[in-house]
């Protein structure tokens, strides 16, 4: 048992760390309502008018649409590739099985800048023009692993006896998949998809290298941060990006949290 | 005999025939499952990565700006002989170490509280509270620090409240350091938490039964058992800092390894040099991982 003094000290430090974690998030939300074009704290006035200004900004709207489209398609690609890979690794023992897992984790294990320049130079050499397509390909590459991790974890916890029972009762492979395997996986698939979407939606490090002149919302923020006249709109867009990447994660947590979906830990990457 | 009963049903006939074929030929099934992911990873990713590493040994024609495919160590020689590149590498390494140390100091008490003092409900709430900021958009969190650190921003308001004057770290290495500490804190915290959680309470009881004061118990029982988790947590803080270019661009005023790579891919258009410089974080991280492995950090991940 720790002495009283130490317990109090640990408790105080815990609170300090929590404040350190959350003050910046609160600040972001507060600044979206900043009336002034300056950045003085405390705010001199409160308004919601910058939300309207941001919405009527054509470039911002285009960036939002791009971000949504890219995230949606990257998620679909990640679902297909990640699910196939997790089935292969779960159901079979084959040469290079470890290597498959390793290759899938690599894009989030290596610093993002390496993934970025590698894809950038490959796109340059291949002659494919930089476009939304190249962003989707880049994002799908590091999104596969979240789907893979979630589906594989679920497959490992689903007893194989269920599949055997289904076959014994006369179901063929398709029926077994349709009525046994898929229902067991459903929440893991949705959770994996939501996480992949969130990962893609707020990505900037790789996006900068694979997007050419196309804009996504994070890239718009990055480009406009230093322009004083765009400051209030940047504040608003920042809140929108933050919420649109938090909401899917919250849903994933709600949907499959009880069943242990990997929202945290090494399945997460920011850089 | 099988043929007599084989009547394709009205719906799902194609799927059924397909699934039957796949069931009879497991290798074919494996190939179908693996073809797309493997092709994708090999062609899109590993190929690109291998190409990048090769590029480091090529050079750029300074006149036309196009890549010359002649092999040599000229990029590495340039990086080694030019003072600026060495300074930048050392600065990045220094900040990465500072970030890892600060993250451990901030994370340890919270991890300890969650693992050993809090009730199960509080523990779950704390862990969730730590993970949520990870998903709140990396760029937005960097931007938050830019707002906090501006000359008349939140931090200075706080400092002036205490009456000790003002603090001008708006665009500096201090700003870069504090932002990195913030960004990677959750990554550091989770492994430390799981290593603390795994220490059996009986070890602590044994220590105090044998007359160990609480400080002695901490130093000789808790800390050695938590060390693999601490090292595992520091891996993230350390390696993520080494490759980052966004944070120094937004809140700093000096160059880091990531900035040099980014600028050489973009404005300076010298991919071979950028690729060669990318070897610096790779080598440092590899050395760090070897040390971490020796300290048992991989079991704590």
User: Which of A42, A84, A203 faces B33 most closely, judged by CB atoms?
Assistant: A84
The proportion of chain A whose per-residue pLDDT surpasses 90, expressed as a percent, equals: 60
Tens digits of residue pLDDT in B233-290: 998 898 889 989 999 999 999 999 999 999 998 777 888 999 999 989 989 988 988 8
Sorting pLDDT into bands at 50, 70 and 90, what band is B301? Answer: low
Measured in angstroms, the CA of A40 and the nearest CA of chain B are apart by: 5
* Range in A64-78, B30-44, B119-133, B157-171 the model is least confident about: B157-171
Question: For chains A and B, what is the number of CB pairs under 8 angstroms?
Answer: 270
Structure token digits, residue A59: 């470039």
DSSP B115: I
H-assigned helices in chain B: 2-5, 13-24, 26-39, 47-55, 74-81, 83-112, 120-131, 138-149, 154-162, 173-197, 201-209, 214-217, 223-243, 246-251, 257-265, 271-294
* DSSP string across B72-97: -SHHHHHHHH-HHHHHHHHHHHHHHH
Output the pLDDT for position A138.
Answer: 95
Output the pLDDT for position A250.
Answer: 86
Residues A191, A171: Cα–Cα separation, whole Å: 28
Q: Say whether B145 and A24 touch across the interface (CB within 8 A).
A: yes
| Polymer length of chain B | 301
* Range in A25-39, B11-25, B53-67, B102-116 the model is least confident about: B11-25
Q: What is the distance of C-alpha B36 from the center of its chain?
A: 27
Tens digits of residue pLDDT in B203-219: 988 998 998 888 888 89
* Nearest chain A alpha carbon to B153: A41
Are B134 and A264 a contacting pair, CB within 8 Å? yes
Can you tell me the mean pLDDT for A168-194?
A: 90
Tens digits of residue pLDDT in A121-150: 889 888 899 999 999 999 999 999 999 999
* DSSP string across A89-108: HHH---TTHHHHHHHHHHHH
- How much is the mean pLDDT over chain A? 88
Are A3 and B115 a contacting pair, CB within 8 Å? no
Do strands B67-68 and B59-60 pair parallel, antiparallel, or not at all (unpaired)? antiparallel
Can you tell me the mean pLDDT for A103-113?
A: 84
Gyration radius of chain A over CA positions: 22
In chain A, what is the greatest distance between 2 CA atoms, to the nearest angstrom?
A: 72
Sorting pLDDT into bands at 50, 70 and 90, what band is B181? Answer: very high
Measured in angstroms, the CA of B185 and the nearest CA of chain A are apart by: 8
Are B110 and A13 a contacting pair, CB within 8 Å? yes
Tens digits of residue pLDDT in A49-104: 999 999 999 999 999 999 999 999 999 999 999 999 999 999 888 888 888 888 88
Residue A213 sits at the chain B interface (C-beta within 8 Å): no
Output the pLDDT for position A151.
Answer: 93
Output the pLDDT for position A39.
Answer: 86
- How much is the mean pLDDT over chain B? 88
Q: Which residues of chain A have a CB within 8 Å of the CB of B274?
A: 117
Are A51 and A37 a contacting pair, CB within 8 Å? no
Residue A67 sits at the chain B interface (C-beta within 8 Å): no
Task: State yes or no: pLDDT of B6 exceeds 70.
Answer: no
Sorting pLDDT into bands at 50, 70 and 90, what band is A268? Answer: very low
Structure token digits, residue A246: 């938090």
Identify the helix (H) or strand (E) that includes residue B67.
Answer: strand B67-68
Tens digits of residue pLDDT in B60-111: 877 777 778 788 888 899 889 999 999 999 999 999 999 999 999 999 999 9
Structure token digits, residue A9: 């000290």
Output the pLDDT for position A269.
Answer: 43
Cis omega (within 30 of 0) on the bond before A99?
no
Output the pLDDT for position B206.
Answer: 92
Can you tell me the mean pLDDT for A9-13?
A: 94
Q: What are phi and psi of B62, to 5 degrees?
A: -70, -15
Residue B87 sits at the chain A interface (C-beta within 8 Å): no
Tens digits of residue pLDDT in B141-171: 999 999 999 888 899 899 888 877 777 787 8
Q: Say whether B147 and A39 touch across the interface (CB within 8 A).
A: yes
Interface of B with A in 114-153 (CB under 8 A): 114, 116-117, 126-141, 143-148, 150, 152-153
* DSSP string across chain A: ---HHHHHHHHHHHHHHHHHHHHHHHHHHHHTTB-SSS--SS-S-B-SHHHHHHHT-HHHHHHHHHHHHHHHHHHHHHHHHHHHHHHHHHH---TTHHHHHHHHHHHHHS-HHHHHHHHHHHHHHHTPPPSHHHHHHHHHHHHHHHHHHHHHHHHHHS-HHHHHHHHHTT--HHHHIIIIIHHHHHHHHHHHHHHHHHHHHT--TTHHHH-TT---HHHHHHHHTT-GGGHHHHHHHHHHHHHHHHHHHHHHHHHHGGG----SGGG----
Sorting pLDDT into bands at 50, 70 and 90, what band is A264? Answer: very low
User: Does the predicted interface ipTM exceed a cut of 0.90?
Assistant: no
Task: State yes or no: pLDDT of B188 exceeds 70.
Answer: yes
User: Which of A14, A41, A268 faces B109 most closely, judged by CB atoms?
Assistant: A14
DSSP B70: -
Can you tell me the mean pLDDT for B53-61?
A: 86
* Residues in a beta bridge with B10: none
Q: Which residues of chain B have a CB within 8 Å of the CB of A164?
A: none
What are the distances in angstroms from CA A88 to CA A80, A197, B26, B37, B148?
12, 23, 11, 10, 48
Output the pLDDT for position B253.
Answer: 92
Residue A61 sits at the chain B interface (C-beta within 8 Å): no
Are B294 and B288 a contacting pair, CB within 8 Å? no
SS3 state of residue B59: strand
Tens digits of residue pLDDT in A246-259: 999 888 888 765 55
DSSP B261: H
Identify the helix (H) or strand (E) that includes residue B60.
Answer: strand B59-60
Residue B242 sits at the chain A interface (C-beta within 8 Å): yes
Output the pLDDT for position B10.
Answer: 46
Task: State yes or no: pLDDT of A267 exceeds 70.
Answer: no
Q: Say whether A18 and B129 touch across the interface (CB within 8 A).
A: yes
């Amino acid at each position: 048992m720790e002495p009283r003094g130490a317990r109090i000290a640990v408790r105080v430090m815990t609170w300090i760390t929590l404040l350190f974690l959350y003050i910046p998030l609160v600040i972001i939300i507060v600044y979206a309502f900043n009336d002034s074009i300056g950045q003085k704290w405390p705010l001199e006035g409160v308004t919601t008018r910058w939300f309207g200004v941001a919405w009527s900004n054509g470039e911002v709207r285009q960036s939002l649409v791009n971000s949504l489209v890219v995230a949606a398609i990257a998620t679909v690609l990640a679902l297909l590739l990640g699910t196939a890979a997790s089935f292969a690794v779960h159901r079979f023992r084959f040469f290079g099985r470890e290597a498959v897992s390793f290759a899938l984790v690599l894009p989030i294990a290596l610093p993002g800048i390496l993934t970025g320049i590698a894809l950038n130079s490959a796109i340059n050499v291949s002659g494919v023009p930089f476009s939304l397509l190249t962003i989707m390909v880049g994002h799908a590459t590091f999104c596969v692993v979240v789907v893979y991790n979630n589906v594989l974890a679920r497959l490992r916890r689903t007893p194989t006896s269920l599949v055997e029972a289904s076959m014994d009762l006369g179901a063929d492979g398709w029926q077994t998949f349709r009525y046994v395997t898929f229902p067991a996986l459903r929440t893991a698939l949705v959770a994996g998809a939501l996480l992949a979407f969130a990962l893609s939606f707020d990505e900037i490090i790789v996006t900068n290298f694979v997007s050419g002149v196309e804009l996504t919302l994070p890239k718009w923020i990055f480009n406009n941060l230093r322009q004083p006249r765009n400051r209030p709109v940047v504040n608003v867009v920042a809140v929108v990006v933050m919420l649109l990447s938090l909401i899917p994660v919250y849903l994933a947590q709600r949907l499959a949290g009880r069943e242990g979906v990997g929202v945290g830990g090494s399945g997460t990457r920011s850089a | 005999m099988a043929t007599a009963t084989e009547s394709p049903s009205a719906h799902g006939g194609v799927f059924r025939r397909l699934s039957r074929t796949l069931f009879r030929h497991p290798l074919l099934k494996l190939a179908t499952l693996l073809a797309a992911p493997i092709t994708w990873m090999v062609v899109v990713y590993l190929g690109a990565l291998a190409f990048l590493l090769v590029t480091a040994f090529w050079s750029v024609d300074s006149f036309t700006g196009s890549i010359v495919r002649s092999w040599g160590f000229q990029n590495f020689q340039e990086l080694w002989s030019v003072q600026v590149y060495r300074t930048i590498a050392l600065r990045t390494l220094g900040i990465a170490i500072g970030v890892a140390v600060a993250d451990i100091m901030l994370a340890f008490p919270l991890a300890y509280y969650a693992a050993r003092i809090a009730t199960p409900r509080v523990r779950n709430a704390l862990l969730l509270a730590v993970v949520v900021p990870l998903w709140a958009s990396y760029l937005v969190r960097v931007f938050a620090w830019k707002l906090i650190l501006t000359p008349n921003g939140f931090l200075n308001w706080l400092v002036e409240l205490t009456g000790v004057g003002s603090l001008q770290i708006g665009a500096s290495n201090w700003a870069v350091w504090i932002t990195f500490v913030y960004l990677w804190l959750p990554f550091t915290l989770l492994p430390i938490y799981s290593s603390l959680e795994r220490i059996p309470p009986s070890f602590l009881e044994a220590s105090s039964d044998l007359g160990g004061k609480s400080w002695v118990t901490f130093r000789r029982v808790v800390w050695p058992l938590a060390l693999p988790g601490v090292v595992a947590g520091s891996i993230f803080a350390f390696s993520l800092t080494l490759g980052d270019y966004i944070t120094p661009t937004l809140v700093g005023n000096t160059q880091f390894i990531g900035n040099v790579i980014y600028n050489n891919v973009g404005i300076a258009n010298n991919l071979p040099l950028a690729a060669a410089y990318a070897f610096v974080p790779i080598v440092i991280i590899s050395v760090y991982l070897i040390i971490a492995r020796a300290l048992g950090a991989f079991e704590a991940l």
